[in-house]
């Protein structure tokens, strides 16, 4: 019945009996079957030995001097680490009270003296088989779980890559923005990680938030797809009328994402994408657009995005302007903390400006 | 330790014994469990019943007129569709040769009459667990290979 050859390791069985001749008989039967036997003649040394190395199954004699089988069993069943080891009792034939007690204190079965070869082998095989099947099932379940997880991750990663490509495509209409989106992703993440260190944000900025801002930040300007070329690509200053149209890239972007968000209302990534697209031109003092939100009414992700976007735009060359230096840009950000920018985020930006400078230098166009 | 899903369905147990009083004892014993009990009085009816619906476990008396327990077990173990049903023998015989014969006929256990209730319940539970673990393991393997193909 048991299929010992298929098992990776040889089952290890401990026999606890104070009668050497019983140990001999049982060891003989079981070694012949291919089991590895650990014979012990008293409960105390058995417990000691089990703690060092766990057997797969225990054969335990009930009547032993010093510590009897029930006591050994109780001690094992009270130990979290050892309680799952199956115990088969060795009892005298037809002693009903023995059998009852054996089951009630946690034995899985018993075998009777004088030993019946087939009975002994069958009972042990049964419990060894069950023991190994449980281990195998657990292994399979873990494997299945990790496969599902890796599949979910694969789908997630490919979705994020697709979203990024589309954002990149919309960006390509714009004049030489180069690796703007890649830089913005990384700086947003870096800045968020730094904000996390402040008590105030400890509970708001989670690893999930950091992951989301990394993936959602490239969506900030997707609404620019709807802006006509003569405005989007105009080399000179926009007229008031043109600027009004330009401003709609925030609402257009948000509305596009809202369409998807209605289908997936639990999706926090889309929610953040909407907040970023709509509010990344809001100003701390309430003079921004499109909703003239002020202070902490502006979603945190959009307040972070606003600083990061301005830094990147100032440092980049555009058809209508030359790039500014890191110091100049940093000074502007500090200067406008409290009016244009959230002062705390401007400060955090300053705190880690060296790191941001390095990122920028490494990734500049 | 055992997976919770193991007993999600009511286990179905077929009892074969030609003596109505013996059947009655087992029915009384299993009455308060979650098992569904199907008592039959001969090997022939047992085979019909098994083909009609596969039980999850069988309790078989050894000495029966016409077809004895060994023969019944042998037929079941030689049929690919039936051979996975665990068979537990119940008999008053304590002769080692009889016990040996029961195991070599394909029985997973042998319970000697008069039995104690706890013992019967425990052995049934053990072999049902193994039976359901086998099914679960099979399902798990199928699922795993399906996933691996899709990756």
CA distance B121 to B28: 12
User: Taking CB atoms and an 8 Å cutoff, what residues of chain B touch A84?
Assistant: 1
3-state secondary structure of B131: helix
Q: What length is written for chain A?
A: 365
Ranges of each domain in chain A: 7-143, 172-363
ipTM for this model: 0.84
User: Is A240 within 8 Å of A266 (Cβ atoms)?
Assistant: no
User: Taking CB atoms and an 8 Å cutoff, what residues of chain A touch B136?
Assistant: 137
Asked if A103 lies within 8 A of B96 by C-beta distance, the reply is no
Residue in A118, A130, A144 closest to B144 by CB: A144
Q: Is A84 on the interface with B (CB under 8 A)?
A: yes
Comparing C-alpha atoms, which of B61, B145, B20, B123 is closest to residue A130? Answer: B123
Q: What pLDDT shows up at residue A2?
A: 42
Asked if A133 lies within 8 A of B130 by C-beta distance, the reply is yes
CA distance B98 to B62: 9
Put simply, the chain A residues between 127 and 146 with a CB less than 8 A from any chain B CB are: 127, 129-130, 133-134, 136-137, 140-141, 143-144
Which position has the higher pLDDT, A317 or B80? B80
Q: What length is written for chain B?
A: 151
Asked if A126 lies within 8 A of B119 by C-beta distance, the reply is no
Confidence check: pLDDT of A331 > 80: yes
User: Is A176 within 8 Å of A319 (Cβ atoms)?
Assistant: yes
Residues A140-161: tens digit of each pLDDT? 989 989 988 998 999 999 999 9
When scoring A77, A104, A119, A132 by the number of chain B Cβ atoms within 10 A, the one with the most, hence best to mutate, is: A119
How far is CA A83 from its chain centroid?
Answer: 31
Q: What pLDDT shows up at residue B151?
A: 65
Phi, psi (deg, nearest 5) at residue A238: -80, 145
User: Is B61 within 8 Å of B113 (Cβ atoms)?
Assistant: no
User: Taking CB atoms and an 8 Å cutoff, what residues of chain B touch A129?
Assistant: 130
CATH superfamily, domain A7-143, is Response regulator (3.40.50.2300)
**By mean pLDDT, which of A71-85, A236-250, B129-143 is the weakest?**
B129-143
Give the burial class of A363: count Cβ atoms within 10 A of its Cβ; 0-12 exposed, 13-18 middle, 19 or more buried.
middle
C-alpha angle with apex A357: A355 to A358, nearest 5 degrees?
65
Residues A107-136: tens digit of each pLDDT? 999 998 888 889 999 999 999 999 889 889
Phi, psi (deg, nearest 5) at residue A265: -65, -15
Asked if B127 lies within 8 A of A127 by C-beta distance, the reply is no
Q: What pLDDT shows up at residue B4?
A: 39
Confidence check: pLDDT of A4 > 70: no
Residues A270-302: tens digit of each pLDDT? 999 999 999 999 999 999 999 999 999 999 999
B132 upstream amide cis, omega within 30 of 0: no
Instruction: Taking residues A96-114, report their average pLDDT.
Output: 87
Decide: pTM greater than 0.95.
no
Give the burial class of A67: count Cβ atoms within 10 A of its Cβ; 0-12 exposed, 13-18 middle, 19 or more buried.
middle
Output the tens digit of pLDDT for each of chain B's 151 residues: 343 344 556 899 999 999 999 999 999 999 888 899 999 999 999 999 999 999 999 999 999 998 999 999 999 999 999 999 999 999 998 888 988 999 999 999 999 888 888 889 999 999 999 999 999 899 888 888 887 777 6
Q: What pLDDT shows up at residue A357?
A: 95
Token pair of B101, please? 């014969």
Phi, psi (deg, nearest 5) at residue B90: -130, 125
**Which CA distances in Å does B31 have to A91, B18, B24, B34, B117?**
29, 19, 10, 8, 12
Instruction: Taking residues A4-17, report their average pLDDT.
Output: 76
Confidence check: pLDDT of A80 > 70: yes
CA distance A218 to A170: 10
* CATH fold for domain A172-363: Hypothetical protein af1432 (1.10.3210)
Residue with tokens 């999930």: A208
Share of chain A above pLDDT 90, in %: 76
Q: What pLDDT shows up at residue A224?
A: 93
Q: What is the mean pLDDT of chain A?
A: 91
Token pair of A43, please? 């409960």
CA distance A175 to B52: 76
* DSSP H/E element including B81: none
Q: If you write DSSP's letter for every residue of chain B in order, what string do you get?
A: ---GGGGSS--EEEEE-S-HHHHHHHHHHHTTSSPEEEEESSHHHHHHHHHHS--SEEEEES--SSS-HHHHHHHHHTSTTTTTS-EEEEES---HHHHHHHHHTT-SEEEESSPPHHHHHHHHHHHHHHHHHHHHHHHHHHHHHHHHHH-
CA distance A57 to A62: 16
């Amino acid at each position: 019945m048991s299929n010992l050859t298929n098992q990776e390791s040889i089952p290890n069985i401990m026999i606890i009996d104070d009668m050497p001749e019983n140990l001999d008989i049982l060891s003989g039967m079981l070694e012949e079957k291919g089991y590895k036997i650990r014979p012990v003649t008293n409960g105390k040394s058995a417990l000691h030995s089990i703690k060092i190395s766990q057997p797969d199954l225990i054969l335990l004699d009930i009547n032993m001097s010093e510590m009897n089988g029930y006591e050994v069993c109780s001690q094992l069943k009270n130990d979290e680490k050892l309680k799952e080891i199956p115990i088969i009792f060795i009892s005298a034939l037809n002693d009903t009270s023995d059998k009852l007690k054996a089951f009630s204190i946690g034995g899985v079965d018993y075998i009777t003296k004088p030993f019946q070869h087939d009975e002994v082998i069958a009972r042990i095989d049964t419990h060894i088989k069950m023991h190994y099947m449980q281990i195998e099932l657990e292994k399979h379940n873990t494997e299945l779980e990790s496969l599902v997880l890796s599949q979910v991750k694969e789908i997630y990663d490919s979705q994020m890559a697709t979203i990024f490509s589309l954002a990149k495509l919309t960006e390509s209409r714009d004049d030489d923005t180069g690796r703007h989106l890649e830089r913005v992703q990384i700086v947003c993440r870096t800045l968020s990680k730094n904000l996390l260190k402040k008590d105030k944000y400890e509970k708001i900025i989670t690893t999930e938030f950091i992951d989301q801002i990394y993936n959602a930040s490239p969506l900030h300007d997707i609404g620019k797809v709807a802006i006509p070329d003569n405005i989007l690509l105009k080399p000179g200053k926009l007229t008031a009328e043109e600027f009004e149209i330009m401003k709609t890239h925030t609402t257009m972007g948000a509305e596009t994402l809202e369409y998807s968000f209605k289908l997936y209302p639990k999706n926090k990534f889309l929610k953040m994408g909407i907040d970023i697209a709509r509010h990344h031109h809001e100003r701390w003092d309430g003079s921004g657009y499109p909703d003239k939100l002020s202070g902490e009414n502006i979603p945190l992700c959009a307040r972070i995005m606003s600083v990061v976007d301005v830094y990147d735009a100032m440092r980049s060359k555009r058809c209508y302007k030359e790039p500014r230096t890191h110091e100049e840009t940093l000074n502007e950000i500090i200067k406008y903390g409290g009016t244009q920018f959230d002062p705390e985020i401007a400060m955090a930006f300053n705190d880690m400006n060296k790191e941001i400078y390095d990122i920028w230098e490494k990734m500049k166009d | 330790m055992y997976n919770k899903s193991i007993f999600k369905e009511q286990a179905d147990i077929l009892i074969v014994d030609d003596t109505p009083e013996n059947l009655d004892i087992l029915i009384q014993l299993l009455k308060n469990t979650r098992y569904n009990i199907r008592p039959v009085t001969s090997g022939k009816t047992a085979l019909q019943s098994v083909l009609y619906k596969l039980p999850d476990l069988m309790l078989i008396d050894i000495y029966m007129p016409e077809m004895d327990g060994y023969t019944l077990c042998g037929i079941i173990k030689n049929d690919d569709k039936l051979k996975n049903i665990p068979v537990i023998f119940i008999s008053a015989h304590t002769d080692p040769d009889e016990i040996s014969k029961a195991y070599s006929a394909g029985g997973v256990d042998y319970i000697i009459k008069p039995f104690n209730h706890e013992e019967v319940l425990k052995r049934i539970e053990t072999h049902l667990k193994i039976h359901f673990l086998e099914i679960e393991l099979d399902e798990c393997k199928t699922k795993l290979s399906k996933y691996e193909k899709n990756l």
